[in-house]
Amino acid sequence: MTHAESRTVLRILDANANRAGEGLRTLEEFARFILDDHDLTDCLKTHRHDLAIAMGRWNRLQLIESRDTPGDVGTGVTTASEQSRADLSEVVAAATTRTQQALRCLEEYGKTTDPEFAASIESIRYQCYATFRDLELRVASVNDRSRKIREARLYALIACEPDAERLEARMDELVDAGVDVIQLRDSSVDDRTLYQQASLGAVIAKRHGILWIINDRADIAVAAGADGVHVGQEEVPVDAVRRVVGRDRLVGLSTHDIEQVREAARTTADYIGCGPTFPGQTKSFDHFPGCEFLKQVSEEERTGDHNLPAFAIGGIGLENVEKVAQSGIGRVAVTGALASHEGLHQTALGIREILERVPLRMTPDSGDVCSHPDG
């Protein structure tokens, strides 16, 4: 290899080492500050340090001297897609691609002068593939849950069943009837029973591709592998719950007036329940915000004052869901309306038909891991 060729290889190695290091640092910051994931952060930091050790085989001064940024024809070559990122998931995708490509360049050009260096880069590259897979699966999981909660129309709340077979039958029935989200809410059972049913429900929900939420208990939601947790105004604050469940899972919050909705929008909540709308059979309330509250929520969503998927809740059934739809809310959470096996499918279908007249605002401005206010 001529001196000129050797210098060119050094330029390529220097450029791609910088590119790979920048990509790994970008991903490390995502794992650290967005996902709050210690293990992923540690893996990415290790890859970055291993790369630095591998590059230590080269004379640092020679690498720096080989740089010619003003004379690099590639610095002015850009595409429109490089100049913007729709959300942080695109930052992750770009950084993983950039890092993988840079490591491949280091390996291939390294082979021309130092096979041992090339082998060390190959090892780092394969380790990165495994880490990037875990990272991208995390991002995809969060965004999938965010998409599902935004697309949901019908949310059912159920209690524990006497045994696993009955829970499975109950959930199968609700899914067949068109329910998108099921929440397990039961304060009458012990923690062991709640955990067991929550765990089984998570498996069934995953099989059906629906969301499975646990009421109040963030610890059980995480341990059981549920999609999220729902809390009320008197429970642990949303952002504290977020520290327990992480960025992977959804956090829902009950709201009873427009100020609580506005406050929810300033938290890391993924969706809100709004009500009680009408008197119901499962809970008693002294005050019913009703459809006037729902109109306020709908109007503030329309004007962009909040962007949380809002589910009307409280005494809603086929006989009054039209009033909910007229308020501008196209999502409902129900308990009693779907409690009876008789006529369940017809009731669910009728509710959905009315709700689907209301267009849903689908912009994921703050509903996924990539857009939380503190993320």
36 among annotated binding-site residues: no
- Shortest CA distance to 272 belongs to which of 285, 289, 283? 289
d(CA 129, CA 134) in angstroms, rounded, equals 9
Task: With beta carbons less than 8 A apart as the criterion, state whether 131 and 99 touch.
Answer: no
Both tokens of 76, joined, read 């002015």
Q: Which residues lie across from 158 on neighbouring strands? A: 184
d(CA 107, CA 24) in angstroms, rounded, equals 17
Task: With beta carbons less than 8 A apart as the criterion, state whether 365 and 371 touch.
Answer: yes
21 among annotated binding-site residues: no
- Shortest CA distance to 28 belongs to which of 19, 17, 39, 16? 39
| DSSP-assigned letters across all residues of 334-368 | ESGGGT-STTHHHHHHHHHHHHTTSPP----SSSS
For the range 62-65, what are the long-range contacts, defined as Cβ-Cβ under 8 Å and sequence gap of 24 or more?
Answer: 62/10, 63/10, 63/13, 63/14, 63/17, 64/14
Backbone conformation region of residue 229, classed left if phi is above 0, alpha if psi is from -120 to 50, else beta: beta
Which residue intervals of the chain are DSSP H helices? 3-29, 38-55, 60-65, 88-110, 115-151, 164-176, 191-208, 218-224, 238-245, 258-265, 290-302, 321-326, 344-355
111 among annotated binding-site residues: no
215 among annotated binding-site residues: yes
d(CA 375, CA 373) in angstroms, rounded, equals 6
122 among annotated binding-site residues: no
| DSSP-assigned letters across all residues of 278-312 | S--SS---S---HHHHHHHHHHHHHTTS----EEE
23 among annotated binding-site residues: no
Both tokens of 133, joined, read 């897979």
Show binding-site residues for Mg(2+). 216, 235
Binding-site positions read: 215-216, 235, 254, 283, 315
